[in-house]
Structure 1
């Protein structure tokens, strides 16, 4: 296992691609209560995520951009790369992937699978804005069927699944990949997300409301955005963590050959999950694995 320097792309504030985040954030804020399945419990997450990114995170994209870009370059074939995103909080991960491929003059083909209609519809709007077509699958990823892809990008997703469901999901990602295709995962291992304390949540709610007012949102809307942020930070959403040894077993069972597993040095993150007044360091692992040909 190697240790890498901090990933500077986690601090990227201005995406190269035109991600109309204000429009997309307002869509999720307005529609998550309708589109998110109450049984999934993701409504507070999707309602607040993009709005927090917009107002207090300077539209930052997910961490791990350099690692993901390198993996996509390795997976591309003939100047093209068909990429499956295994779940997404909003449009930020798609923007990161598009940036990485376009910077290397690789033609992107985006496939997104997520069981939540809010995320799917946000990305449909994003694709329309870009004049592109994304292949969107609203489904449980373990049941996904699609044409083979060159790469799968999984970012901070595994711990949102109950432990018994994780093998079926990794198996589905393996089935989606062409032989020799790559799984590119940026994932917390060993530790789960801790719940925020009430006082920092109160303080960050005020910061979020202030940022909303500064952007010109009327006071009732700013207060509603602050309340949504407080609701988001008060929930953990994630299930139990995935120890490294268990993750490696999941990969092996699904027919993956581990190429590398590195733990970048802890670096400040701009994820909406992390709030002022508490540590912003997140121990993420960067995992690259190849789908082996069936025996």
Structure 2
């Protein structure tokens, strides 16, 4: 049964406000967001120390309670009870929109189940901010967030993402960006267009635009800095791969190996030449495709 819940209709229970916070530049905090944090009874924050800096900047004196991925199940009954008592709560993450690669979804789901009003405020979001300035087709797009850390799970995710015709969006830290770009190049065409947005809205904000192969070359001589948003072109917009048989491909790799190149470098060179996935060429060269059939 569908029930309509109007955001601004008086209710006996409290209200959960989802308040976005700046992703870097504090001037991006909206007037409405400041007023909401001032008037609610309690702020559920991902990191109370980080949020306190924001509250101090805007002279907000509302009490906080921690709410993060490690205490979600413990906090949920407590927060729902406060809302049912009539208290108004705001939920914030360290930066950007709650629930987007941050805590929040579980609290929203619990509120919906208990018929507690949820009011989302619009505001800063790293994924959309990067997308509109990427130079890559913005619609349709698919937001994924952080890739799995475990190799097998990551490979499975990349295989599925690589087949999308829509632009897709990833998040990555400076500590893993090199490996992630290399993995994307291996499972997608090295010629796939990509844009990396770094330190959005901050003083060192920058965009890197080019192919995955070009980005690999860039990171070979440049140390990553800051948090990254990765915008990847959809599969349907890739250049058409040059037709070549598996036999011809293996022959070219062998010729490069005979000149002194290491097999993996020879595979990468041939993959780039024919606009093929490095993983596909690797499988063909080592006969793995036949084994998987």
TM-score by length of 1: 0.32
Larger RCO: 1 or 2 (CA < 8 Å, sep 6+) = 1
TM-score (norm 2): 0.32
